Amino acid sequence: MDITICQIHGQAEIIETCSHVAEQIDAGTVPRGRRFSILSHMLVCDDCFSSLGFERFISLADLPLEEAIDVEDGRWEAFQAAYERMEGRGLFCVKCVEELER
């Protein structure tokens, strides 16, 4: 998992978001979207999840990382393609997002 140095929480894991979720977090509103972890924590709005093709690889999130890395059926390629098409990604401290969601 990726780490950041948060001004509030110090060393903490990051959560990566699409631009729409980043706007919600920046505005101080509770972010809405689909949360999953593949290599890092991600939170993507429903529109980006569908339009960018994240549903094609989401089953990788159910596998232990060691098993997921060995998958050779096109799901990793689908993840890479969806990730590269996600413009304006945001990076946030996972603890700050958790506090916003409370």
Contact 64, 23 (CB under 8 A): no
Domain ranges of the chain: 3-101
Question: Which residues does 96 contact at the CB level (< 8 Å), separation at least 6?
Answer: 6, 8, 9, 12
Q: Please give the residue that has the higher pLDDT: either 13 or 75.
A: 13
pLDDT band at 5 (very low <50, low <70, confident <90, very high): very high
Question: Which residues does 17 contact at the CB level (< 8 Å), separation at least 6?
Answer: 25, 31, 33, 42, 43, 44, 89, 90, 91, 92
Q: How does pLDDT run across 35-64, given as a tens digit for each residue?
A: 988 778 899 999 999 999 888 777 777 766
pLDDT more than 70, % of the chain: 93
